[in-house]
Amino acid sequence: MPASLTKIMTLFLTFDALKEKKLKLTDSIRMSWYAATRRPAKLYLKPGRCISVEDAIKATAVKSANDAATALAEHLAGNEKKFAKLMNQKAKEIGLHQTHFRNASGLPNSRQLSTARDIAKLAKAILDCHPEYAHFFSLPYFSFNRRRYKNTNTLLGKVVGVDGMKTGYTFVAGHCIVVTQSVDDARVIGVVMGEETPKRRDVVMTYLLKNQIPTLAQIQQAERQLTQKRRRRQVSLYWAVQTGAFRSRKQAIQFNAQLRKNADLQDVLSDKSLFTRLVAPFKQRKHYTTRVGRFKTEDEAHVLCQSMKEKSLSCLVVKSR
């Protein structure tokens, strides 16, 4: 899984639209209810609020804001599903043979896949096709609504010549980074995926940039190791508090939204993560569950469930992967 490295493709299509005059940097795009729910990295704009295309690009490239990336996708294609089709068409055009996109932000999806080699091809393609917009990846920070967001690429300004490009993280994908570096008259592109910590990610990337160009055999070995790491992560178990089951994802999301707004539960759920989960089809019917938190221990989940029951909300502690 490419995590937020996915946003490079989202920006690629945005830059295409700018070049084709279908979009202007000064255009306003509306934050939909769906886009506003994309977390955790986000600008926290409320549904209905607007943001300029330029600010959305900066938020996506610098802060890795999921809501901004999704808003761009919806503005360009109508909805994220249609935008994913455009992403896959572009991937095919530039020769990303082991890549498939399902969303614009890189949020977890088991069918969203890529490799380090394909990500390197994507980084090269966007620089070749849109050099005039490469500066967005080099910005040390992004200011919006009186707040300053530092670039998630911590190698900017630390390693000589580094001038981009993007970081990413999900639990399954691990810590990932694509770096571009100007060396004499050449441009070097490095990709590291699946590291356990941001520090380890940066150390490995710095070593690659300073000391070696990996051979094909080394790249293939790294990709095999990465696949094994992902498999181990995917079978890891967690505890959660299940609050409901619904026929559609929309119903589940609406229930979570209502739960978040429930005044009686503000103190219980204020710092908890609410999410939905597709359950294996039963009698050929899909259904979705709503859950709170991913806890390491059963006791943590039971404490929360008991608090919710005291507020007259039924719940169930479940173990899942």
How many Å apart are CA 185 and CA 48, to the nearest integer? Answer: 46
Measured CA to CA in angstroms, residue 230 lies from 11, 69, 170, 193 at distances of: 26, 25, 11, 11
Which positions are catalytic? 4, 7, 64
